[in-house]
Amino acid sequence: MTVVAGAAVAVGAGLGLAGPAFAEDPVPFGSSPVVDTVGALGDRVAEVEQAIDEAADRSGRQLFVAYVSTFTNPEAAAEWADDTAIANNMGDEDYLLAVAVDGRAYSISAADGASLSAEEIDRISREVVEPELRDGDWAGAAIAAAEAIGGDSGGGWGWGFIWFLVIAGVIVAVIAIVLARRRKRGGTGHGAAPQVPVEELRRQAGGALVAVDDAIRTSEEELGFAVASYGEEATAPFREALATAKAKVAEAFTLQQRLDDAEPDSDEQRREWYSAIIRLAGEADAVLDEQAAQFDELRDLERRAPEELERLRQSAQQAAARVAPAVQRLDALRAQYAGSALASVADNPAQAESRLAFAREAVDRAQAAIAAGESGDAAVAIRAGEEAVDQADVLTGAIERLAADLAAADRAVAAGAADLEQDAAAAHGRQAPGLDELAEATAAEAAAVREALGAPGRDPLALQARVEQANARIDGALGAAREAEEQAARAAAQLDRSLLSARSQVQAAEDYLVARRGAIGAEARTRLAEAGRLLALAEQVRAADAAAALRDAQRAEQLASEAMRLAQQDVGGFGGFGGGSTGGWGAPSGGGGGGGDLFGAVLGGILINSVLGGGGGGGFGGGGGGFGGGRSGGFGGGFGGGRSPGSFGGGGTRGRRGSGGRF
């Protein structure tokens, strides 16, 4: 029997009935191929272990099974199974059946190099395992999986396995008939699958959104490298695939925002919308995955490794030269602006240095791999280095973009203060209750804003928010007295300032997220996506309806600010490696490669499998080009343990493959 080495502590199988539902992160395996934290297998653990051992002896294929309550970190079944397999260094002929008993979800995870094809794994999943799970026969599902996976030891199905499927099909048909008769006589019975809890759907939708958003962002980066090398025409199919996937994810984020807003939603609506989010994320993933093989052929990093390595080395040197000017620019900005105005870029130089240190290690690793004739490992290291250099440029460039935005905001605030002074003057003398008092308050606010604007340590975006609030109060009081033409002109002028502020805040949040996406969850991403949607809508309708555009722009500002707050909160609580603290399972202290630099690579989403498997890159083969993250392998050695760099593609191309679903 294959035993996974290096697991932290064996999780003992419980006895008796499963306990109450609780969320569980990916689990470590010990000396047994079975982990059962909920006692689902009862007294049949030994029977399951025996079936697994016999199948492994017969075929050389080792099955591991994990029964937990629900999947978390990540919530999606396939990702949870893949992360568990990677964390436990599972190899080409190691298969994992992961089952969330209360979550009613499962997945079979297999390495890309597995002898069973994706089609065979899918058939085992749908025709062998899922019927047993539906009937609540937890041990039966594991035993059936072991027997099916351990069928013929060759790459094909073989007559024995075909007969097994036929017999299994007959048994399933008989069970279905019996259950149908029972239902006719006495209702659904205990074997009927309960409806998935709404809370479980919420967790799955959140995990699916984060995963597909990361896949799109990584794919976009990888596509940029390809466009630079091969041009627009050669990359057109991949740009079309990315645009289609983005449209689906935008729709999913809009649904999530609807679920998050203040309007109450019924359980039926929540169930429908969460299910739609999961479906849309899956469709976006599939669109990207369909192009993965063709993208690999286009980039062909293995064959082109020497020249691509030289290009990476040069781009890393150029990016490093941009760090010192960025530090100087940031120091100058600190003399002018408040810390709150610079919070989104405060640690950007340090983060850029971390990414570049990781890139230099990737260059060294790629050089060694080329010298050893290991072109697949070289391709993996080159791709990781490319992403690290790209993020370093994003981080340093964000400082200059913010500087320009703050200067423009200074000008917009000055113009806004002038408008407030005009409004205050116009309000004086009008015959309306309380208008004189409001005019005086508005004039005082305009003076305070002007004073703050001329002082060091200011925050122009915060001052802009004060101007907008004061404007809203005085405009509301004067609106009825103004002509429609005058109101439209004022709305247009205010719109320009609000659009500038919204663009600045959306861009700042986007820059922050893209370089720290390994830590940022669904809520911040949802707010940012909605802010971007409203900003685009405001730009679109500004000529036809300035008032509506102003409302959208101001709402986009609010959402972008909230997205930044949530993203910073996520990063502040990020342990870096599977959400844990240092020193534990998957901590930065393991795996070598320079703890801080490896941490930065995971924080930036460059290494996408955020649990540390320790030791070598088990579970991954070498090779591959780049249109599918992670399938090309880990770095081996101490360069990242079981992690692997992302690339163009959806979740189906990120390291392992498999099948599963709900039951």
CATH number for the domain harbouring residue 46: 3.10.310.50
Shared domain check, 518 and 413: yes
Other Cβ atoms less than 10 A from the Cβ of 473: the count is: 16
Shared domain check, 447 and 409: yes
Shared domain check, 181 and 254: no
The tokens of 523 are what?
């809520």
Q: Which of 308, 224, 204, 237 is nearest to 514 (CA)?
A: 224
Burial of 66-92, coded b for 16+ CB within 10 Å and e otherwise, reads bbbbbbbbbbbbbbbbbbbbbbbbbbb
Shared domain check, 553 and 421: yes
Residue 607 lies inside a defined structural domain of this protein? no
Confidence of residue 479 (pLDDT cuts 50, 70, 90): low
Shared domain check, 215 and 112: no
Q: Determine what percent of the chain is predicted with pLDDT higher than 90.
A: 42
Residue 288 lies inside a defined structural domain of this protein? yes
Q: Per residue in 96-123, pLDDT tens?
A: 999 999 888 899 999 877 888 877 888 8
Place of tokens 């116009």: 426
Q: Tell me the average pLDDT across 164-175.
A: 47
Residue 148 belongs to what domain range? 23-186
Q: Per residue in 504-556, pLDDT tens?
A: 999 999 999 999 998 899 999 999 999 999 999 999 999 888 889 999 999 99
Asked if 498 contacts 553 with a C-beta cutoff of 8 angstroms, the reply is: yes
Cα 542 from Cα 540, distance rounded (Å): 6
Q: Per residue in 68-103, pLDDT tens?
A: 988 887 878 888 898 888 888 788 889 999 999 988
Confidence of residue 182 (pLDDT cuts 50, 70, 90): very low
Can you state the angle between helices 484-514 and 546-572, rounded to 10 degrees?
20
The tokens of 399 are what?
């400082």
Residue 474 lies inside a defined structural domain of this protein? yes
Place of tokens 């294959």: 2
Cα 148 from Cα 353, distance rounded (Å): 50
Confidence of residue 249 (pLDDT cuts 50, 70, 90): very high
Omega into 74 within 30° of 0, i.e. cis?
Answer: yes
Average pLDDT, the chain: 79
Q: Per residue in 3-59, pLDDT tens?
A: 332 222 222 333 233 333 445 678 888 889 999 998 999 999 999 999 999 999 898
Shared domain check, 97 and 54: yes
Shared domain check, 169 and 70: yes
Residue at which a domain ends, from 572, 592, 609: 572
Model pTM? 0.62
Residue 100 lies inside a defined structural domain of this protein? yes
Supply the pLDDT for residue 487: 64
Q: Out of 77-81, 263-267, 472-476, which region has the weakest mean confidence (pLDDT)?
A: 472-476
Q: Is the pLDDT of residue 380 over 80?
A: yes
Q: Tell me the average pLDDT across 347-367.
A: 95
What does 320-339 look like in DSSP terms, one character per residue? HHTHHHHHHHHHHHHHHB-G
Confidence of residue 428 (pLDDT cuts 50, 70, 90): confident
Q: Tell me the average pLDDT across 475-503.
A: 74
- Number of domains into which the chain is organized: 3
Shared domain check, 245 and 119: no
Supply the pLDDT for residue 593: 37
Shared domain check, 170 and 210: no
Local structure of residue 194 (DSSP, 8 states): P
Q: Per residue in 294-343, pLDDT tens?
A: 888 888 888 889 999 999 999 999 999 999 999 999 999 999 999 999 99
Residue at which a domain ends, from 239, 269, 299: 299
Q: Per residue in 593-635, pLDDT tens?
A: 334 567 788 888 886 533 222 222 222 222 333 333 333 333 2
Supply the pLDDT for residue 140: 95
Residue 359 lies inside a defined structural domain of this protein? no
Shared domain check, 203 and 166: no
Cβ burial of 480 (10 Å; 0-12, 13-18, 19+) is exposed
Residue at which a domain ends, from 530, 546, 572: 572
Most confidently predicted of 3-7, 239-243, 424-428, 485-489:
239-243
Cα 533 from Cα 375, distance rounded (Å): 42
Shared domain check, 173 and 208: no
Q: Which of 87, 54, 58 is nearest to 66 (CA)?
A: 87
Residue 69 lies inside a defined structural domain of this protein? yes
Cα 78 from Cα 105, distance rounded (Å): 9
Residue 479, C-beta contacts closer than 8 angstroms, at least 6 positions apart: 487
Residue 646 lies inside a defined structural domain of this protein? no
Cα 519 from Cα 521, distance rounded (Å): 7
Q: Is the pLDDT of residue 188 over 50?
A: no
Residue 462 lies inside a defined structural domain of this protein? yes
Cα 62 from Cα 150, distance rounded (Å): 8
Asked if 531 contacts 560 with a C-beta cutoff of 8 angstroms, the reply is: yes
The SS3 assignment for 342 reads helix
The tokens of 435 are what?
């208008």
Asked if 307 contacts 634 with a C-beta cutoff of 8 angstroms, the reply is: no
Confidence of residue 157 (pLDDT cuts 50, 70, 90): very low
Identify residue 174 by its one-letter amino acid code: V
Shared domain check, 150 and 45: yes
